Amino acid sequence: MGYDCIIIGGGAAGLAAAVFLGQAAAKRRVSPSVLLLEKGQRVGKKLLATGNGTCNLSNIFATEKDYHGDKNLVISALKALTIEDTLAFFHTIGVDTAVREDGKVYPHSEQAGAVLDSLRLEAEALGVTIRCQQTVDKLTPCKVGWQVWVEGTPYTARQVLVAVGGAAAPALGGSADGYRLLTDLGCKKTPLFPSIVQLRTATDYVRAVKGIRVDGRISLRLDGKELATRTGEILFTDYGLSGPAVMGLSRYAADWERQKKGNLTAHLDLLPDWDKDSLCARIAQRGKLRGRTLEDLLTGLLHKRVGQTVLRVAEVLPLTRPTDTLTAQECERVATVIKNWSLAVTGTQGFGGAQVTAGGIDGAEIDPATMRLRRHEGLYAVGEVLNVDGDCGGFNLQFAWSSAYVAARAIAANW
């Protein structure tokens, strides 16, 4: 049996496209046959993990500036389905949303499952057939449109939408399938690298504070020149650094990692609200507190274990020394480490730890007004498989929804 449309991939973009297609059909009172093929046992595995299970589904401040790669695709998508339209769309399918001060949008229930269930239930109610455990491994053009191959068996469709996502987080369904499906058809892709990912650094001191979170500032410098800086939560781990601030600038480290030219260093400011002189004065004052050893010099200003590690990095030792033996020069060294703890970056945790893939199918291959592949009639691609990646904060899901809308609109126009 031939379908009017086959959607490959039941993630954020594929499920949203299924609903958009169903809504367009209902509006025009036509009954096209739409089939969604998903590789996993269930649809939306990655979606369930988003925002630590709370699903940061959009950001009311999103503009093309929050994205990297082919921005013309982003501009077209965000114009077609704006943030307002997106929130209205979710409202129509039963997801009430809440907006945080920083613009991040979540389902009111703060459950990613609510977003997934609402999309899936709505798609099915609109007549879309969903089949799981169907890994698409080849696309071939045919008389009516396309043959979509699953383990040697072809499905036929007039139009096909590729929504298979990117290579990030393979444990959650991330794969390179989409790049291969489309490069086999002659499409070009840009180099791939992980983004929104943890950093590996020199671990001599970091390991001692693993599991501790600080609200600080991190900057990345390449051969001493600042590439990016972020303020927010930094988490120490046994391999290096994680947490929102670190993930937020990790794209620069991943880009460096694939070329490995020059020395990349991370610089931590553990007390960004303090200037160095006031900090130095306060450390000297703390040194005069009665009955203390260096072990507790910074306790109360920093997490105790972080404070002790700072002293080790600054080589103000031994920790059993009374604090009143502290010299002005040592106070200066301690303040310097607190304001600028420098760590050699050795790489990232790769696609396994990444939330998103930077790079993908080259924007030159795609018509931004329809998300159709320029060299192929009836074939469309949306979401993370394209050369678009957003910063941390709801931008990647927003591109999934908006690009899905553009493609669904174009596909429905051919019915």
Using CB under 6 A as the criterion, what x/- string covers residues 46-65 for binding ligand FAD?
A: xx-xxx---xx---------
Which pairs from 318-325 meet CB under 8 Å and 24+ separation? Answer: 318/294, 319/293, 319/294, 319/295, 320/293, 320/294, 320/295, 321/293, 321/294, 322/292, 322/293, 322/294, 323/286, 323/287, 323/288, 323/289, 323/292, 323/293, 323/294, 323/296, 323/297, 324/287, 324/288
Which pairs from 120-123 meet CB under 8 Å and 24+ separation? Answer: 120/15, 120/43, 120/44, 122/19, 122/22, 122/93, 122/94, 123/15, 123/18, 123/19, 123/22, 123/36
Question: For ligand FAD, which stretch binds (CB under 6 A), given 172-180, 242-250, 315-323, 331-339?
Answer: 172-180
Closest to ligand FAD by CB, 221 or 230: 230
Closest to ligand FAD by CB, 79 or 131: 131
Applying CB under 6 A, does 169 fall inside the site for ligand FAD? yes
CB 270, min distance to ligand FAD, A: 27
Question: For ligand FAD, which stretch binds (CB under 6 A), given 45-53, 298-306, 322-330, 358-366?
Answer: 45-53
Residue selected from 118, 175, 237, 348 as contacting ligand FAD according to rule CB under 6 A: 175
Q: Where are the beta strands (DSSP E) in 225-296?
A: 225-236, 240-242, 264-269
Question: For ligand FAD, which stretch binds (CB under 6 A), given 22-30, 115-123, 370-378, 392-400?
Answer: 392-400
CB 330, min distance to ligand FAD, A: 43
- Please give the residues from 108 up to 147 whose contact with ligand FAD meets the rule CB under 6 A: 135-136
CB 218, min distance to ligand FAD, A: 20
Applying CB under 6 A, does 359 fall inside the site for ligand FAD? no
Residue selected from 7, 8, 119, 306 as contacting ligand FAD according to rule CB under 6 A: 8
Contact 5/128 with Cβ under 8 angstroms?
Answer: no
Applying CB under 6 A, does 402 fall inside the site for ligand FAD? no
Phi, psi for residue 24 in degrees, rounded to 5: -65, -40
Contacts with ligand FAD by CB under 6 A lie at: 8-14, 37-40, 45-47, 49-51, 55-56, 135-136, 163-165, 168-169, 172-175, 177, 355-356, 383-384, 394-397, 400
